[in-house]
C-alpha cells in the first residue's frame, strides 16, 4: 500500500548475470610449437543480493525503480586467465521486510541490520579447454559456454517493527496519542480511516530512555477477511513487541469493542494473542468526575488484572501513567 512517502508493498523484477564463456586457446610461444591448451574459465554472472538496513523505514525507493539486473561474467582468455565476475547488485531494504514469490511463499525475512541473502544466483562461468586435456585428447578445441542467469519476480512486503503497536477501531484516538507522546505528525481528522499508513514515533522516557510506538490504521469488524483493507493493516501488528488496545470512552459497550478487536486478530493470526498487551480508554477529557469514577469501576470489572489506563491525549491526563505501564510491560 502506498501513501505519501510510505510504501510497504512492491513487486520487483530481477535478473542475475550470465556466466562467461570458457576460452578455446592453444599455447603458442617461440620454440614451443605444441604448448597444449591454455584457455581460461569464464567469469561467474553477478548475483542479486538483498541486505537489511536499519536506516531505512519504507520501500519508497522501489516506487519508481523495480527492475534490477546483475552484470554478466566476462569470457576466459589465454594463459588460463579467468574472466572477470559479473557485478553483483545489492538491494537494501528496511528491517522487517519479507520477500515472497508470486505464490506468496516466504523466501526470506530480514530482521537484523546487515543481514544478507543471495536472492538470485548468477550463472556459472564455462570451463576453458585446458580442463578437457587428456592423454588421448591433448589439444581439445572446445570449451563450455557459461550458464544463463535466472529471472525472478518477487514481492517485497514490509512489516513495521515497533515496541508498542496501537490497535483500535477508526477514530479511537491512536494518531492523537502518537502526536502527543512523540514528534510524529500523523494526519488527524474527524472521519474514519484518516490514517492509511502506519506512523512511527519515538516516545521519550525517564533518564534518556525511549521506546518506539507505531500507529496502525484502524481495524473494523471483518478486517481479518480483508474488509477495510484489513490484510494490509493487520500484518504491521505482527512485529510489535506489545499491543495497546485503544477504546474511546464514547463507545456503547467497552467489552464488546475490546472483544471485536481481539476476535479480528485471532482470525488473522492467533499467535498475535500471545503478545503482552494493555488497554487504554481514550478521550477521557469528555467525561466529568462522576463518569470517570464509573468508568474506572467498569474497567476494573471487565479487565481485572490486565493493565488498563484512562487517558486524554488532548489534556495529557494519564499519559505519564500510561508510559510507566508500557515501559514496565516491555521490560518484564
More confident residue, 194 or 174: 174
**Domains of the chain and any CATH numbers:** 2-158 (2.70.210.12), 162-330 (3.40.50.300)
Look up the pTM and report it: 0.69
User: Residue 213 is placed in which grid cell?
Assistant: 510506538
Q: How far apart are CA 274 and CA 53, in angstroms?
A: 28
The pLDDT mean for the chain works out to 84
What pLDDT digit, counting tens, does each position of 279-304 carry? Answer: 999 988 888 888 888 888 988 898 88
The DSSP string of 273-315 is GGSEEEEEEE-GGG--HHHHHHHHHHHHHHHTTS-EEE--TTT
Q: What is the mean pLDDT of residues 47-54?
A: 94
SS (H, E, C) 152-166: EEEEEEECCCEEEEE
- Checking if the pLDDT of 231 tops 90, the result is no
The confidence band for 233, taking pLDDT boundaries of 50, 70 and 90, is low
| Residues contacting 239, CB < 8 A, separation 6+ | 96, 159, 160, 161, 162
Instruction: Give me the sign of the Cα torsion angle 203, 205, 210, 216.
Output: negative
Residue 191's pLDDT is 40
| Residues contacting 304, CB < 8 A, separation 6+ | none
Residue 172's pLDDT is 81
More confident residue, 31 or 71: 71
Q: How far apart are CA 88 and CA 78, in angstroms?
A: 25
Amino acid at each position: 500500500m502506498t501513501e505519501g512517502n510510505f510504501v510497504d508493498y512492491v513487486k520487483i523484477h530481477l535478473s542475475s548475470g550470465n556466466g562467461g564463456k570458457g576460452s578455446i586457446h592453444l599455447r603458442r610461444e617461440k620454440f614451443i610449437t605444441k604448448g597444449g591448451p591454455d584457455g581460461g574459465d569464464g567469469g561467474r554472472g553477478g548475483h542479486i543480493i538483498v541486505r537489511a538496513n536499519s536506516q531505512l523505514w519504507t520501500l519508497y525507493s522501489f516506487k519508481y525503480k523495480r527492475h534490477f539486473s546483475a552484470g554478466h561474467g566476462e569470457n576466459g582468455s589465454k594463459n588460463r586467465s579467468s574472466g572477470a565476475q559479473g557485478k553483483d547488485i545489492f538491494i537494501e531494504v528496511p528491517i522487517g521486510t519479507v520477500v515472497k514469490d508470486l505464490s506468496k511463499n516466504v523466501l526470506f525475512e530480514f530482521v537484523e541490520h546487515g543481514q544478507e541473502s543471495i536472492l538470485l544466483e548468477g550463472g556459472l562461468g564455462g570451463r576453458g579447454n585446458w580442463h578437457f586435456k587428456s592423454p588421448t585428447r591433448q589439444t581439445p578445441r572446445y570449451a563450455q559456454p557459461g550458464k544463463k542467469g535466472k529471472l525472478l519476480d518477487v514481492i517485497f512486503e514490509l512489516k513495521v517493527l515497533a515496541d508498542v503497536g496501537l490497535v483500535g477501531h477508526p477514530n479511537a484516538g491512536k494518531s492523537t496519542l502518537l502526536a502527543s507522546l512523540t514528534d510524529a505528525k500523523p494526519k488527524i481528522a474527524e472521519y474514519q480511516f484518516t490514517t492509511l499508513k502506519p506512523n512511527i514515533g519515538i516516545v521519550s522516557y525517564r533518564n534518556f530512555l525511549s521506546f518506539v510506538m507505531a500507529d496502525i490504521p484502524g481495524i473494523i469488524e471483518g478486517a481479518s477477511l480483508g474488509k477495510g483493507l484489513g490484510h494490509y493493516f493487520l500484518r504491521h501488528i505482527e512485529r510489535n513487541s506489545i499491543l495497546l488496545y485503544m477504546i474511546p470512552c464514547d463507545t456503547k459497550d467497552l467489552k464488546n469493542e475490546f472483544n471485536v478487536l481481539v476476535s479480528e486478530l485471532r482470525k488473522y493470526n492467533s499467535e498475535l494473542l500471545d503478545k503482552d498487551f494493555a488497554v487504554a480508554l481514550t478521550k477521557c477529557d469528555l467525561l466529568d468526575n462522576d463518569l470517570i469514577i464509573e468508568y474506572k469501576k467498569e474497567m476494573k470489572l471487565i479487565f481485572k488484572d490486565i493493565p488498563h489506563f484512562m487517558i486524554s491525549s488532548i489534556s495529557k491526563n494519564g499519559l505519564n501513567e500510561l508510559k510507566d505501564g508500557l515501559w514496565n510491560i516491555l521490560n518484564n
